[in-house]
Every structure is written in structure tokens, then in C-alpha cells.
Amino acid sequence: MKIKELLRINIEDEVPLVIKAGEQDLTVEEKEISQYIVTHQIERHLETFLTNYKLLSTDRIGVWISGFFGSGKSYFAKIIGYLLTNHTLPKGITARELFNERLSNCTNPEFIKGNIKSLNSIPSTIVMFEMTADSSLNMETIQQSIFKKFLETCGYSSFPNVAIMEYELDTFGHLEEIRNYIEQSGNDYSKVAQNVGEFRRYAVKAMTERIGYSPDEAGEFLKSAVNKYDSLSPAVLAEHCVDYTMKTGKRLVFIVDEIGQYVISLKDNEDRILALQGVAEAFAAKGKGSVRLIVTSQEKLDQLIANRDFDKRKLGKLTDRFEVRLDLTSENVDEVARERLLKKKIDAEPLFEKTMRENQGNITTLSDTNGSYRKTETKDDLMTYYPFHPYQFQLLPDLVQNTIGSTYYQATARKFIFLVDTILKNVKDEEFGRVVSATDLFDALGPSFFGSGVTHLVYSADDYMGKNVKASDILKTLHILKNLNKISASETVITRMLCKNIFDKQYELTKEVKDALDYLEKAKYVTRYNGEITLVTDLEREFIAEMDNTVIDIPKRNEEIVRQLLNIFNYKEIRYGDGPSIPIEWFLDNAAIGGKKKGLQVRIAPFTGVNVEGLEFESMNHRDTVYVIPEADDTIGDLAREIKSLDASLNSFRTKKTGEGIHEILTKYGRIMNDKKNELGRVLRKAIDSGQLLYEGELKPTSSLINELKDLLKEKVIPGHYTEITYTTATSKDIDGVLSGPQNTLKTIRLDDDHRVFNDNGELIETHKIISPVIEYLEEDQTGETLLEKFSSPPYGWTPETIIYSVACLIRGGKIMVNNSDYYGKADVHKALKSVSEFKKARIRRSVVLKPSDKQYLMDIINPLMDDGRLSLQSPRSEFISRALEAMKHLDKRMNELKENMEKLGADVKWNLDTLRTMINTLTGGDSDCLDDLLRERDSIRELKETADKTEQFLDKNYELIRRQKTFLHELEGEISKGAFEKDQSEKLSAILKEYKDTLPSIASFGTDLDSTFENLRNTYKSYFNPIHDDRDEWLKKIHEYLDSIQDETNSLGKRTGDQDWFRRPTPPCGELEIQFSIKCEKCHTGLNEASLYITEFSNRLEKLKDSFDSFMREKSPEKLDNSTRKEEQPKKLKLKRKLTYRELKRELEKLSVSEDTELEIELED
């Protein structure tokens, strides 16, 4: 049975290649509706559209239909236009009635029919066109293209400028007159309307002769109409459209095909998509649903915006207006093609059932592309898609979409259904069993898809022809697979895709495919690597030739082997425990290849084999060397040579070639080179891991040599070669602790045996393993660099930190000098031991060591003189010198300060400080015997220290006391000089004063009776002052008693005594006299002489108070006298000395007893 006899359709019928939205022919319309397949996806989209379209008022007026080329988006848009227009077709039925016949396979056909019926209440005018075809070479704006097609639909000319003039004339009621004029002139109006110049000429004549315009006015009228079109805005377009809907009572619907291609056609320009947004926004704002806009695009709206450099903030309203978005996927295309072209006759089902039952395994295998595409696994799969496999229906859309830039992609055969139809026509006369192969697909797509160059190259390989497979068949398959991401081009996949019959056996064809591929590879049509086959371009063919001609010698080859070995053995040193890292130097066949020198050696034997017995003998004399004997493998050299050949060719091409295709070659062969490098790494690792280790004549087989080598180095080689190595390392913190920590913490800085170098008393253990070798090595002066080199080498292998730590401990123990300093606390020492770089520059030598007994004597002298930083037995000689100098200076300064304070008090100090000054000069020079001189003067220094201590105690107790006593003496001497005392009193006081002064110079001997003398002086003065002080208090008491007695008395005028200005109380009586370190009483602050004067004053004051009180009590009310009889009050006269004290002035004023308003006349004595 032939394939065409299985199909329901007549395969001879022509399938329309492209469905264009602008085509409007009723016969075509009837055929397109009758052939339309309503898939489940179309059903869902139709429901969505009709639900939105039935809304009478909405601002969501846009519908965005998207789908790849051949998906049927334009067909679907056109069907929507047919349903909305609802023409009566040649059959005599409406478009909607015919469409209802296509709903039999729908899930809910009655619901769809009901929605379609509701369109009867919404009369609509449909304007359909393809944007890219009707935009006058893309020079028109969107609004101009829409308006032009709108005018054409309304019956105006298809020439835009003529249509604009017709529309404007019609608006003013002039068009019919123009039409009559042209026809009456013997012309065909429709022909005139196809020529802008002719139409303008006749229109101007008609308007001038019949309507009353002047020629200029008529020309300006028509020019204005064209100008309006040239400057047409979305808002004005919307006004014209809304005006139409109001006049006709119909909804106006624009269906614009391929709008997506149009809006992105200007690179890096968003003007067109903004114009589309402007049109949609104007339709929504002014039409409120009466004007609708349906567009198609390859891309979804959100993808179209996201994939371009548009300002997303400007396009928010576009997505709002196109809320209805209908995307047609490959699911729809698949279903349409099957329903329309591959539907089988009912009586063919048993054939498919039997065939699948008997050949299921083979058929499924042949349809398996080892990817994500579907296989033919059931009878339904076979019957539904035959003569195709399901994967081919998935493959074709991917193939078309992944191919960029071909004419085919842009035009005719891009349509999926057309491809299927073409292939069916090619195989229609074949017997059942024949299936579509890769060659059928290639031939159907043809030169218009792949290009004539590709097809020519493909057929040029037909010098080789097998029984069933030609070389060109392989190339055809590869050109298909080249553009697919979901299938890899392997021999298996190519064989299956070339099978042309469901009864073919894959294994029978495999040998032919392999032979053809061998030919193609040798002829440089293809390359094979890791099972994947790729096509060779002319440029790649040139690259392969260069690679074949590249010569790689053994040293060059070994470069790659060395690089790989250093990746495998990627360590230049190996750490021993938690301690030092020992350098490892690597060799290949006796040539150094990497690592670090001055350590251990690992020698790798050649991979082509080696004399093991000779190596065993050699290893006996090399305790620092491990021999690696890998398993022999000749492929290692071949792989390394291929890699270097690839590398050289890539570098050559990279510098010599530019242009298209270079990047792909560099990427492809760069990946191949990397894969070969990875393969070489695996082969090398296997050869090494399967090899043997040799050390000191002992040969050891291994199962994992790479790991076991490390264990051997750590456990045997390092401790065997580095016999004095430490298992741990010191740290910078440990070094700081040694240099900065107190003596009692030194024993706890490190507790491990390798670094515990201080005993419980904080003393250095000179026999320790990291101390004694360093002391011995310092028989001669060294630098830090020589110490590092010495003790990082065998047999020590110490870390730099441990070496510096050892030096720090030695200087802390007073055994060495660093940079001419044996003081561990010095900044220069800290800096030298802070880092390896500084330590290398340091100068290190042994220092002069003080005997412990001398240190103790010196500590007894120096430590008592210091406030802090006390010396210890561990302190170095330099510190003893510096501390001794500091102590002598401190004592000298102290003695001088004490002497100065004693002399301020009046003491005669006769201390001998020459010894101190001599010791300061001696210690400042730092001579070798300076500390011996200090030991000889230790008794003198101790005596000075005791004197200073006694003096300091005396001053602490008496300095302030004596100073205050001397203040009292000074005041008393002043009073004596003023004659404040009787003669005998003055003589006695003066004698005691002299005794006190004579005692002062001898206070430096700390044995005087100065305090008793002062007490005698003070008591004598007090005995003279006491009676006068009592008399003063008595008078004060009398005044206060008198004031108390009169305080509340009132005179005849009702005035109270206590309120008067003259009623003023003096200070209260003092009481008992109290004398401390002043001649004045501590309470009333009055001295003896002053108290004597106050007695006379207080006596006079009491008399004046009594006179004032008498006058106060005699006061009467003043009589009213004539001005003529009133006596003028005379001013009081006051005679004063030219120079007097305030106290004397005060007394004279108090004698007057006058009111505050009394005038005074002052007379000065000569």
C-alpha cells in the first residue's frame, strides 16, 4: 500500500504557502475557513478573545498575537477578521456558520458557538493589512499606515495623497461634485484617482468652476489636506476613527499583521514602539472600546520589550492597553499539521497496529535521537505522525528558529505546514514502511534555506557512494544537526536519522555510515572527537592542514608532560607535623622541572621504562631522594605531542587569521586541546598511581602512589635526613612573649618539648636542642641570614620562626647581643626579630656575661633606687649599666631637690654628692669596668640613699609646719617694729625669735627642738594679747546690750528705733582668743594693736548711739511756717587732715550725728 493511499486528504491539492492578513477574496475566505484547524490552543485563545471583545466599554482595546514563523498567527488573526466581518460566502452561508463546522474537535464547541453568535449584536468594520508590506518602505508612521488603510476600506483611493484629498473634500460635501465633473469631462474617475497630479488638476478646476473657489484657494485646500496627513498624530487618527463609529454605529477593528517586525526594524530606536503605544492609548482614551487594535508579532510583547534597549519606564501604557496576549506555540503547529495533512483513513488502523506490535523495539530505536525529543513508542504515535517520526515535528521548528539570516527564514518555505506538505508529496508514491529521513528533510528545505554554497559542497562529496549511504547523506544530516542544540551528532544518531524504512535494522547501516565518515574525515569534510562529529569549514580545513604539518620535538613534547606532572604533584614543600615545611624539588628523567631547591628531591623516571636495578644502587647513597617509577605507557608521549601541535597551530592562527569563522575554530580546537589535556592528566595519574616508589634501595609497589609518596616523605625521608628537626614551630606571638613577658611567665610561653627552653625559674636551658647549637655556632659573629641558612638546612630544618625564637630566648637569657645590644627590651632588638626580612639584616654575637654574685650585689644597689623596671638575674649586662645610670641620675636629682627644700626652710645642708656625679660620668661612658666601680662605691651610695629617705620623711612631716611658723615670725617681727608692745614685752619676744632663727640651720641633723621654741613664742604673744582681747569683747557686749534695750522703742511720730539708719550693730563678741600661725585671732581676725584701737572706738560709738537715740525720741511734727520765716539750714563743717586712714575718716563722720540729707562742708588742714 502506498503512503498516499493511507491519507484522508488528497495530497495532490496545493497548500497555500502564506496566509496574509491583507488578502480579502470571498472564495479564498471560504476555502481558508473550511481548511482551518481549531486546535485546543486555538480554542482557548478564541475564548479569551471573544470574552474581551464582547465588552462594550473598556480601555484594554489591544490584542497581541505572537508566534514564530509558520505558527499560524497570521492565519488566526485573519480568521478573527472573518468572524467579525461575517461575509456571506459563495456557498450561501455566512463565515460564522461555516466556521462552526470546524469546532467538532473542541472541548466545549457549544460555548464557542454561543460566543460567536453574540457577535451578531456587535456590527464591526474590519481593516486588515500587513504592516511591513503596506508601510511604503517603512517610511510611513504607524498612524499614517492605519489611516491610509482605513480610507481605502471606506472606498477612497488606494493612493494615500488622493485618498486624503477625497476624504477632506467629502467632509466638506464637495467630493460628489468633483466626481461628476471628472466623469462629465469624459474621464474614468477611478483611473484619475490613481494619479495624484491629475486628480489635483481636475479637483482645482471643479472647485473653481462649480463650487466658487479661486484657483489659489482650491490649491491651498488640497495642500492643507495632504499636510494634515503628513503631520497626522495618534490623537487626530483616533478622532477620525471614533467619528466613523458614531456615524455608522459600527465598531472599528484594525488587524495589523507583523507589527513586531516593524517596531524593531530601526536599530537602537524606540520611536516606532512609542508611536504604537501612542495609537493604542489614543484609541483607548477616545474610543472607550469602539475602536480596537489587533496585531501579530513573532515575539511576545514582554519579550520584545525586554530584549531591546528600550526605556522600559516609557512603555508602561503599552502593556496595559494590550492586556489580551495570545501566544501560538509549536503545540499548535504540530496539531494543525497532523489534523490537516497526516490524518489517516480509518481502515488503515489495523496495519499500523500490526506493524507496531511486530516491530515496536526497532521502530522506537530508530526514532531515538538520544536527546529530549519524543520517540515513536506506541501505535498512536506511529499512526498519527507517519511517515514522520514525532521527533521530526519537534525538530523542524527548532531548526528554522535557530537558523539566522537565511532568505528561507524570511520568506516562503519558512512555513511548517508547507514543509510537511512538500515532503509528503515527495514520498507519496513510496510503499508503506518508508519513513522520512534526514535527507528528505534537507532536500525539502533546499538551497533557499541552507544556501547554494552548502548544497554544492554536500553533493561534491558524492565521489564516495555506499550501497545505501552516500557521503552526501552524512553531510545533509550534519547540516541539519548543526543548528540543533538538543541532539548531538554521533554515529548512532546519524545512522538512525538516515534510516528510510521502519523495517531497516540499525546495525546493518552502521558499517556503511562509519565507512562514509572515515572517507569524509580523511577528505577533511568532517572531524570526529569524543564521539561527536562536526562539519569542517574551508578555514578549518586550512587549520587542520597546518596542524598536520607542525613538527613537535621531544623537549617540546615534554613541556606538556611537565606541566601536567606539576599539576599532579602540586606542592613545592611538605610540612612535617605542625612544624617546618621542607622544600621539595621535582625531576623528570634527571632534569629539574620545578619545586624548591635545598631540600628533598623526587625523581620521576621516564614513562617509556627504566633500568630499575641501576636506580636501586643509586638510591643507596641519596637519603634525600625518592625515586618514582611510573608504569610504562607510550600513549603519554603521543598525547603530549598532539596537545603541543594543537597549541602551536592555535597560536599561529590567532596571530595570522582574522574575520568570520576564526572564533569558532579557535573555540572548537581550544576545547579539543583542553579535552586532550584532561585525558593526558588522567593517563599520567593512572601511570603514576600504578607505579613504584624507591628509597634507600627499597622498592615499594603502590596502589595509590601519589598519596603514598607524601606519607613516605613525612614518615621516613624527612626524619631520616633532618635528624634535629622540630615537630612544631614557634610563632611571632611566642617571640613577642619572650621579649615582652615577665620573668615568671617565660616557662609557660611554650610547653612542647621542641620549644620549652626556660625552666620553672624562668632561666634559659642552655643545653636545649634549639639553644645549644645556636650558641655553638655563634663562636664567630653571624648575621640573621647566615643563621637562617644554617638552621633551615639539614640536619635541622627549623622554620624561620623557630630560629628567630631561639635568638629571642638567647638575648632574653643575656647570652647574645643583637645589633650591638644585649637588652631584649630595646626597640631595635624588637624590630630585628619582628620579621624574617629584618632578621636577615641583624648582626648577632655572643655577649659579656656578669657573674650571678655580682648581679645580686648590683641589684641590691640599683633596685631600691628605682620605682619600676627592676633588674633580675636574667637581665643582660647592658641593662644593668643602663639601669644603674638611670638610678644614679634619679638619686642625684632627688638629693638636689631635697637639699633645695631644706635650704628654703633655712637649713644649712652639707651633703657630699661628688660620688654620685662621678658614677654618672663613669656609667655614661659604659666602659667595661664601670659596673666594678659601682660595686666599689656601693656603701657610699647606700648612705646617700638613707640620707635622702630620712630627709624626705622629715620634709613630709615638717616642711609645711615650719613654713607656717616662719610666717607667724614674720608678722610678729612687724608688730614689734611698729611698737605694738611694752618695752619688756618686746625684749622678751625678740629673744625667743632669735632662739628660733638660730635653731633653723641645724634642722638638717634632725635633732633640734624647733617646735618647743615656736610654742614658747606663740604662748608668750598670746599672754600679752589676751587681756586686750577680753576688754574689746566687753565693749562689744555693752553696745549689743544697749541696742537690745532700745530696739523696739517708738517716738512721738510712731517711728521704731530698730528701723533707723543709725541703728547698726557691730560684730558680736569673739569669745576666747585663738592663735595658730598668725598674730590675729582665728575667730575675729583682729591683732593685738588693732584690738587696742577698737576699745577707744567702741567707747565713743556707745556715746553716739545714746545721743542719736535721745534726738530720735525728741522728734516732733514740723509746724507750717511761711517761707519768709523759715530759717535756711546751714551745712555742717568738717575739718580733716590732708592724709588719713579710712578708719580715721570713719570715726570723724560718726562724731557728726547728722541725717543722710545733711550737707557737709569739708575744710582741709594745711
Tell me the three-class secondary structure of 108-152, residue by residue.
CHHHHHHHHHHHHHCCEEEEEEECCCCCCCCCCCHHHHHHHHHHH
| Residue 1118 pLDDT | 62
Segment of 407-421, 646-660, 684-698, 928-942 carrying the highest mean pLDDT: 684-698
Lowest mean pLDDT among 244-248, 734-738, 1114-1118: 1114-1118
| Four-point Cα dihedral 646, 652, 653, 657, nearest 10 | 180
Q: What are 75's three cell numbers? A: 492565519
In whole angstroms, what is the distance from residue 946 CA to residue 629 CA?
A: 84
Amino acid at 375: K
Q: What is the DSSP letter of 537?
A: P
> 693 and 570 in contact (C-beta within 8 Å)?
no
Separation of CA 1072 from chain center: 86
User: Does 330 have pLDDT greater than 80?
Assistant: no
In whole angstroms, what is the distance from residue 529 CA to residue 642 CA?
A: 13
> 699 and 717 in contact (C-beta within 8 Å)?
no
Q: What is the DSSP letter of 346?
A: G
In whole angstroms, what is the distance from residue 649 CA to residue 543 CA?
A: 7
| Residue 403 pLDDT | 57
In whole angstroms, what is the distance from residue 702 CA to residue 802 CA?
A: 36
Which residue is it, cell 599532579? 568
Beta-carbon contacts of 994 under 8 Å, excluding residues fewer than 6 positions away, are: none
What sign for the dihedral angle of Cα 822, 823, 825, 831?
negative
Which residue is it, cell 603521543? 638
Q: Nearest 5 degrees, angle CA 413-CA 418-CA 422?
A: 100
Q: What is the pLDDT of residues 605-618, one digit of tens each?
A: 999 999 998 899 99
| Residue 432 pLDDT | 95
Segment 761-789 shows an average pLDDT of 94
Task: Detail the DSSP E strand segments found in 921-1038.
Answer: none
Tell which residue, 682, 587, 687, has the closest CA to residue 630: 687
Q: Nearest 5 degrees, angle CA 130-CA 133-CA 136?
A: 125
Question: 10 Å Cβ neighbour count for 457?
Answer: 18
| Four-point Cα dihedral 137, 142, 147, 153, nearest 10 | 70
In whole angstroms, what is the distance from residue 64 CA to residue 80 CA?
A: 13
| Residue 558 pLDDT | 92
Beta-carbon contacts of 519 under 8 Å, excluding residues fewer than 6 positions away, are: 464, 471
> 434 and 3 in contact (C-beta within 8 Å)?
yes
Lowest mean pLDDT among 261-265, 695-699, 823-827: 261-265
Q: What is the pLDDT of residues 235-290, one digit of tens each?
A: 999 999 999 999 999 999 999 998 888 888 777 678 888 989 999 999 999 999 99
Question: 10 Å Cβ neighbour count for 364?
Answer: 17
Class of residue 379 by CB neighbours under 10 A (exposed 0-12, middle 13-18, buried 19+) = middle
Higher pLDDT, 936 or 1132: 936
In whole angstroms, what is the distance from residue 965 CA to residue 1014 CA?
A: 7
User: Does 69 have pLDDT greater than 70?
Assistant: no
Q: What are 475's three cell numbers? A: 553531510
In whole angstroms, what is the distance from residue 407 CA to residue 413 CA?
A: 9
Segment 1017-1032 shows an average pLDDT of 93
> 548 and 504 in contact (C-beta within 8 Å)?
no
Q: What is the pLDDT of residues 1028-1084, one digit of tens each?
A: 999 999 999 999 999 999 999 999 888 999 999 999 999 999 999 999 999 999 999
Q: What is the DSSP letter of 345?
A: P
What is the chain's mean pLDDT, rounded? 88
User: Does 36 have pLDDT greater than 60?
Assistant: yes
Going by pLDDT thresholds of 50, 70 and 90, the confidence category of residue 136 is: very low
Q: What is the DSSP letter of 728?
A: B
In whole angstroms, what is the distance from residue 800 CA to residue 806 CA?
A: 10
Segment 1121-1144 shows an average pLDDT of 65
> 881 and 929 in contact (C-beta within 8 Å)?
no
Q: What is the pLDDT of residues 84-108, one digit of tens each?
A: 999 999 999 999 999 999 998 888 9
Q: Nearest 5 degrees, angle CA 689-CA 690-CA 691?
A: 90
Share above pLDDT 90 across residues of the chain, in percent, rounded to a whole number: 61
Segment 929-952 shows an average pLDDT of 88
Segment 202-224 shows an average pLDDT of 93
Amino acid at 920: I
Q: What are phi and psi of 341, to 5 degrees?
A: -115, -30
Domains and CATH numbers, the chain: 22-140+251-341 (3.40.50), 142-146+154-231 (no CATH), 342-536 (no CATH), 549-719 (no CATH), 723-847 (no CATH), 1029-1114 (no CATH), 1132-1164 (no CATH)
Lowest mean pLDDT among 244-248, 729-733, 910-914: 910-914
Q: What are phi and psi of 259, to 5 degrees?
A: -70, -30
Segment 455-459 shows an average pLDDT of 91
In whole angstroms, what is the distance from residue 684 CA to residue 727 CA?
A: 34
In whole angstroms, what is the distance from residue 900 CA to residue 909 CA?
A: 9
Going by pLDDT thresholds of 50, 70 and 90, the confidence category of residue 1137 is: confident
Q: Nearest 5 degrees, angle CA 793-CA 796-CA 801?
A: 90
| Residue 1129 pLDDT | 56
Q: Nearest 5 degrees, angle CA 375-CA 378-CA 381?
A: 65
Which residue is it, cell 592663735? 1075
Segment 521-527 shows an average pLDDT of 91
Strand pairing category for 843-846 and 816-818: antiparallel
In whole angstroms, what is the distance from residue 1074 CA to residue 1053 CA?
A: 47
Element (DSSP H or E) covering residue 297: strand 291-297
Q: What is the pLDDT of residues 1091-1106, one digit of tens each?
A: 988 898 888 989 999 9
Separation in Å, CA 352 to CA 365, 391, 498: 17, 18, 22
